[in-house]
Structure 1
Amino acid sequence: MFWKSIVFAALALVSLGHRTAVAQIGVIDFQIVDSESKQQIPARIHLWDSTGKFVRPPTLPFWHDHFVCNGKVRLRVPPGDYRFEIERGPEYRIHYGNFRMLPGARESKVIPLRRILDMSKNGWYSGDLHIRREVKDIPLLMQAEDLYVAPVITWWNQSNKWANHELPESPLQRVEEKRFMHVLSGADERDGGVLLYHKMPAVVDITEGTKHYPSSMHYLIPIRKMPGVHIDIEKPFWWDTPLWIASGMVDSIGLLNNHLQRNKMVSNEAWGKQRDVKRFPGVHGNGQWSQEIYYQILNTGHRIAPSAGSASGTLGNPVGYNRVYVFCGQEFSWDTWWENLKQGKVVVTNGPLMRPLVNGEVPGHVFTAERGESLTLQATLSLAVQDKVEYLEIVRDGLVIENIPLDEYAKMGGRLPGVEFKQSGWMLIRAVTNNSKTYRLASSGPFYVEIGGSRRISKAATQFFIDWLKERQLLVQLDDPQQQQDVLRYYIAAEKYWKSVLEASNVD
């Protein structure tokens, strides 16, 4: 009887402790609204306790350090101090806040998010070309990030999310009236780098691919023949970039990629071509290296659109952190968006919002003149920023030729200095923030100038890629001589192509 009394007393203490613990838990309700319309809007929430540990709701889409909701969420949290950041893509001002939860308390917060700029009202629609999140979560993720185009990568070399699931009747799905998701994008991710395959009609089995064999061209060539497919080089510094450019089969290249993250940089080139850290030092070095390579591509006469991807689901970025805005005007549709991306009617950004025009034209336009004539290009720009931007930059043929302080830009009413071209070339506009943790910027796609019917082809830029290919070939080491020969033949053909470009060079 004595021992029974002790057991009952112990159970009573456990029960009391449980009730006390439950009573300690507090409840906070968040409702997120548009500051003008007062309508509830989906959003992303970052919520941390006083130790820096993030709060993870049990039922909402969560990744890394954040979750999304439809604009209303109830959270149960222990007593303590909390801080939060609430976002809805770059077009809304970030809301910072904090609260103290007392034992058993109930709190309620209505969070107004202020819209900085509505890019879609001006014909610019956003997309993210590298998404690896769960398909079922994509509609809410798109709404919470105010994203219009979301191709979802569901198959790659060692993974196929459809292996044990029936393929959807249509891979293209509409989310609300003007938002589109596609669930059959794929990736070939091996030693030469990563190619992203979008608008795919079916899954392609690439599971036989090993580190070097077969060549990425083994899959690229037949996929390129599929109607409507869009092929993106995921990062500029991948070893096979010169090979893919030479093939003429790629449509865009990830100028803003997953090494650029929300609060930090992946400050290396992974298994790609390493940068010279003396030329490109520090936190921003990797991002600057990507730009340098892209500018070299443009300097060889190739016109390939810049793109952007976040790799949410692989690295810590939210969906849409790196995004590409494509100008569609009043003709926005799924197909128009991809066609205009390919044409370079784009701005890529992970922060600043810009709407650039040059002589009244959007990026990707080709200005022409007869031999012996010159052209003056006059840029106008609408700009909205959250991080501080001190200068706007005009980049011409890979070099910054104008640094325009923001106060001077404002005094000029959004007009930038004119740029005179006496020979063929290209220019773009760039806004780089002062963020010290990551490389946060916006860049227009290039505007092209063609005088006398010929493009600018730089001898030095072309030699850069010839040397790159030679270096790449030395890294391909296969035990099977036949496999080695099969892979190397693509590099040999690419080197021959680049030498023909070198023969056609007209500057440097």
Structure 2
Amino acid sequence: MSARARRAGLLSALAAVGLLAAGAAGPVPERSRAAAHGSEARYVVELEWPRENIARTLGVARSELLMYGRGNPFQTRDIGGRTCVVGPLFALDIEDAFAFDIDEPVDLLITYAPELTGTFSVGFNDNGGDGIGESEPVEPESGPTLATARVTLDRARFAAHGIRGTDLAIGGSEGIALCNIEVERSHATPVPAGYGTLRLSVEDGATGRAVPARLGLYDATGRAPLPSERSVLVHRFVDEVRLLWVNPRTWWPSEHRLAFYVDEDYEARLPVGSYEFVATRGPEYRGYQRTVEVRADETTDLTVSLERYADLPAAGWYSGDSHVHIARDHTEDDAVWAQIAAEDIHVANLLEMGNIAVTHFKQPAWGEAGQYVREGHALVSGQEDPRTVQRGHTIHHNLQRPIRQDPESYFLYHRVFEESHAQGGISGYAHMGQLFNGERGLALDVPFDLVDFIEVLQGGRLYDDIWYSFLNLGFNVRPIAGADYPYFGPTLPGVERTYVKLDGPFAPNEWYNAYRRGHTYVSNGPFLEFRVNGREMGSELRVERGESLEIVAEASLNPDIDRLNRLELIVHGEVVATEAAAGSDRIRLETRIEAGESLWVAVRAFGDRDGERDMTVAHSAPVFVVVEDEPWWKLGAVPDLVARHRAKLQELLTEPIQPAGDLEYWETTRILEEEWEQQRLRLEPRVREADARYQALLDRARAATTATSS
């Protein structure tokens, strides 16, 4: 992985937890909220800073060009006779009449005030490669009131790929005082020799049925032509875009990483030449890649037949993404559906995202009225709310109506969990239970059997430590996975997904029912099958003490995504058996273990990509083996695990709130500060009751230990 890719991964993770937010507090001006689709969940301030060839200047916390900002509030200051804008990160829109969709070196003359400027760089969309460029860092001069740096952007594009249709991002971790910018074109953009037409259709290779897909098209230099209006118009926050960046964690057959979606067929007028063409449709399909020739004044017809690597629905397995943020104005949104179906996601949980002040990514209807089911792919309304930096982000699926908390009771999460369950909903914690202090919330809510799941796979990372800690205390908490589109990278829907086994035909409600029974696994690539004595993952199996348990597990991995590495058998969180792939894309593990006590058993599979934050992985829900009505806890670990979660309960009451770490800090800081202390007092009885439940669990474990030893 390149240094820039590593930096992008780190920045995306930090941005997701609110650690790279600009330091300005206070409301965003109302004019910056006006947008084409939904409300703006990003920090955006429109600045009055007219400059030649610059249509707009925005103060932002993220650019959608892999640059993020933090630091002082945005302000305008007179420095050295110049009007300067001061802040962490600026997004600039180049006048289209001056330069739009070009392909040439461009020089920027950036005038700045060194005293108020740290090391900075310029992010831009470029041609070729992954489509996102970044200049070399500029070290500020020392001494002068104003200084000017010349920055050359190689193969600059200026095609409105940044936030709110901007083209450039300028900033750095210590901020910048930007006093002027001049844009000098080289006018070296190649002139096409002519144009032809490409007309294509996409079909499933087995059925011949027309299907949506994600496509890439690149000329001999790696440039991706702007998609035509026959492509799908995609919602990214409030932006509406056709060309999206495919981040390095996302499977893609080409080294070039700009892609677009089509709903079955596509047509575009293109410069003549030879093109690399690629198509994908999620991990169950093989990648498609070929060369396409476009000739002057001719139409090239192409039928793309996507072949399956695996047909999981035929075996009853249907994928879902637990965590997608796309606003809908109406239920039957065919553009949103096409993006989801192009990734072959069967259930997309479209989450309204609330905080203590407002709600973003609004949905038009709830329950069955909010479900849009077409050709086996469903859009379903849900909510990620409540969310705070003090006790984590929660998710609630399959709701009949949204559940709103007043600011005066916002931290009392249990009320939302209880209402969700009363509606037949499924509820849990997002972001691996780790980010935004989610472990505190879990420590409080799990003892009351309110938590159905933890989102254990996200951002290219499996984080099972917190999940295992609750399984080892005897709680049935299921795994779930979600991409958190358009955050985390940004990512694309379905990069991480949850597979659920249905006994009959697909329907969203049946998917949720099967998930509730635990017939599920999470994956960003590998496929799993797993049985204990013939019982599916998620089952409870009652046996006699000492009985032999037959374990049969299988893993497979589309070789276009990664090479399969190994399959592991997990008992009480420990690896007890491993089967290596030995170069194959399939593994079968058969073994027997003895049920000397109650326990939980699961499997996980890995590809060769196996880093701390970038792995190809799948993990099953456990099979719970019960011996003589004993809990499936890991008895010897109970005292330490109880101490761990009781400490988190105390943190919840004693640690001061840090509202600057809230993701929408500009909307929430004042209210969080005003409400937390009073609501902390209201949480104290709940914390005491949870603590008592941990104590009862500990007492029971000590009694069981004594009985066993005697």
Shorter-chain TM range is 0.7 to 0.9
Cα distance in 2 for partners of 1:47, 1:296 equals 46
Shift of 1:202: 1.9
Shift of 1:123: 1.3
What is the identity, as a one-letter code, of the residue corresponding to 1:247? F
What is the identity, as a one-letter code, of the residue corresponding to 2:454? I
Q: Is the 8 A contact 2:399 2:420 kept in 1?
A: no
- The equivalent position to 2:615 in structure 1, one of 425, 428, 439, is 439
Cα distance in 2 for partners of 1:31, 1:177 equals 17
Residue in 2 that maps onto 1:423: 597
Residue in 1 that maps onto 2:573: 398
Indicate whether 1:377 and 2:550 are aligned.
yes
What is the identity, as a one-letter code, of the residue corresponding to 2:648? W
Q: Is the 8 A contact 2:386 2:411 kept in 1?
A: no
Indicate whether 1:329 and 2:503 are aligned.
yes
Residue in 2 that maps onto 1:33: 203
Cα distance in 1 for partners of 2:505, 2:596 equals 35
Summarize the Cα distance change of 1:105–1:408 in structure 2 as closer, same or farther, 3 Å threshold.
Answer: closer
Taking structure 1 as the reference length, what is the TM-score of the superposition?
A: 0.79
Residue in 1 that maps onto 2:70: none
Structure 1 residues 388-397 or 433-442, which shifts more?
A: 433-442
Summarize the Cα distance change of 1:168–1:375 in structure 2 as closer, same or farther, 3 Å threshold.
Answer: closer
Summarize the Cα distance change of 1:83–1:298 in structure 2 as closer, same or farther, 3 Å threshold.
Answer: farther
- The equivalent position to 1:484 in structure 2, one of 680, 693, 709, is 680
Cα distance in 2 for partners of 1:331, 1:291 equals 31
Q: Which of 1 and 2 has higher RCO (CA within 8 Å, sep 6+)?
A: 1
Show the 5 A alignment for 1:136-215.
Answer: 136=333, 137-157=335-355, 158-162=358-362, 167=365, 170-176=368-374, 178-191=376-389, 192-206=391-405, 208=407, 214-215=410-411
Shift of 1:454: 0.8
Cα distance in 1 for partners of 2:263, 2:468 equals 41
Cα distance in 2 for partners of 1:351, 1:39 equals 24
Cα distance in 2 for partners of 1:507, 1:41 equals 58
Cα distance in 2 for partners of 1:114, 1:255 equals 30
Show the 5 A alignment for 1:53-72.
Answer: 55-58=226-229, 60-62=232-234, 64-65=244-245, 66-72=259-265
Show the 5 A alignment for 1:254-403.
Answer: 254-257=455-458, 259-260=459-460, 287-288=461-462, 290-315=463-488, 316-330=490-504, 332-370=506-544, 372-381=545-554, 383-386=556-559, 387-403=562-578
Q: Is the 8 A contact 2:564 2:584 kept in 1?
A: no
- The equivalent position to 1:462 in structure 2, one of 642, 661, 679, is 642
Indicate whether 1:245 and 2:446 are aligned.
yes
3-state SS of 1:493 partner: helix
Summarize the Cα distance change of 1:119–1:492 in structure 2 as closer, same or farther, 3 Å threshold.
Answer: same
What is the identity, as a one-letter code, of the residue corresponding to 1:494? A
Q: Is the 8 A contact 2:453 2:480 kept in 1?
A: yes
Q: Is the 8 A contact 2:327 2:361 kept in 1?
A: no
Q: Is the 8 A contact 2:217 2:275 kept in 1?
A: yes
Summarize the Cα distance change of 1:490–1:439 in structure 2 as closer, same or farther, 3 Å threshold.
Answer: farther
Indicate whether 1:131 and 2:314 are aligned.
no
CA displacement 1:319-362 (0-9 Å, x = unmatched): 22211111112254333321221221112111112222222221
Shift of 1:86: 1.8
Residue in 2 that maps onto 1:450: 626
Q: Is the 8 A contact 2:392 2:433 kept in 1?
A: no
Show the 5 A alignment for 1:61-140.
Answer: 61-62=233-234, 64-65=244-245, 66-78=259-271, 83-99=276-292, 106-135=299-328, 136=333, 137-140=335-338
Q: Is the 8 A contact 1:27 1:104 kept in 2?
A: yes
Summarize the Cα distance change of 1:405–1:221 in structure 2 as closer, same or farther, 3 Å threshold.
Answer: closer
Residue in 1 that maps onto 2:134: none
What is the identity, as a one-letter code, of the residue corresponding to 1:151? N
Aligned length: 455
Cα distance in 2 for partners of 1:397, 1:376 equals 15
Aligned-pair RMSD on alpha carbons? 3.3
What is the identity, as a one-letter code, of the residue corresponding to 2:206? E
What is the identity, as a one-letter code, of the residue corresponding to 1:420? E
Q: Which runs of 5+ in 2 are unaligned?
A: 1-186, 237-243, 246-258, 658-672
3-state SS of 1:121 partner: helix
Runs of 4+ in structure 1 over 6 Å off: 20-23, 102-105, 408-411
Q: Is the 8 A contact 1:33 1:71 kept in 2?
A: yes
Cα distance in 2 for partners of 1:497, 1:168 equals 35
Q: Is the 8 A contact 1:308 1:324 kept in 2?
A: yes
Q: Is the 8 A contact 2:192 2:271 kept in 1?
A: no
3-state SS of 2:450 partner: coil
What is the identity, as a one-letter code, of the residue corresponding to 1:383? S
CA displacement 1:381-412 (0-9 Å, x = unmatched): 2634321112111111101111101249999x
Structure 1 residues 355-364 or 314-323, which shifts more?
A: 314-323
3-state SS of 1:205 partner: coil
3-state SS of 1:36 partner: coil
Cα distance in 2 for partners of 1:358, 1:56 equals 50
Structure 1 residues 301-310 or 90-99, which shifts more?
A: 90-99
Q: Is the 8 A contact 1:357 1:381 kept in 2?
A: no
Q: Is the 8 A contact 1:182 1:199 kept in 2?
A: yes
What is the identity, as a one-letter code, of the residue corresponding to 1:352? P
Shift of 1:187: 2.8
Cα distance in 2 for partners of 1:502, 1:29 equals 67
Q: Is the 8 A contact 1:304 1:342 kept in 2?
A: no
CA displacement 1:272-315 (0-9 Å, x = unmatched): xxxxxxxxxxxxxxx35x21221111111011111111112334
What is the identity, as a one-letter code, of the residue corresponding to 1:69? V
Summarize the Cα distance change of 1:456–1:355 in structure 2 as closer, same or farther, 3 Å threshold.
Answer: closer
3-state SS of 1:417 partner: strand
User: Percentage identity across aligned positions?
Assistant: 20
Shift of 1:367: 1.8
Cα distance in 2 for partners of 1:449, 1:414 equals 22
Q: Is the 8 A contact 1:409 1:416 kept in 2?
A: no
CA displacement 1:405-458 (0-9 Å, x = unmatched): 1249999x8342222221111111111111267221111111111112111333
What is the identity, as a one-letter code, of the residue corresponding to 1:340? A
Cα distance in 1 for partners of 2:364, 2:598 equals 52
3-state SS of 1:340 partner: helix
Cα distance in 2 for partners of 1:138, 1:202 equals 21
Indicate whether 1:228 and 2:424 are aligned.
yes
Q: Is the 8 A contact 1:131 1:311 kept in 2?
A: yes
Shift of 1:76: 3.7
What is the identity, as a one-letter code, of the residue corresponding to 1:426? W
Q: Is the 8 A contact 1:151 1:182 kept in 2?
A: yes
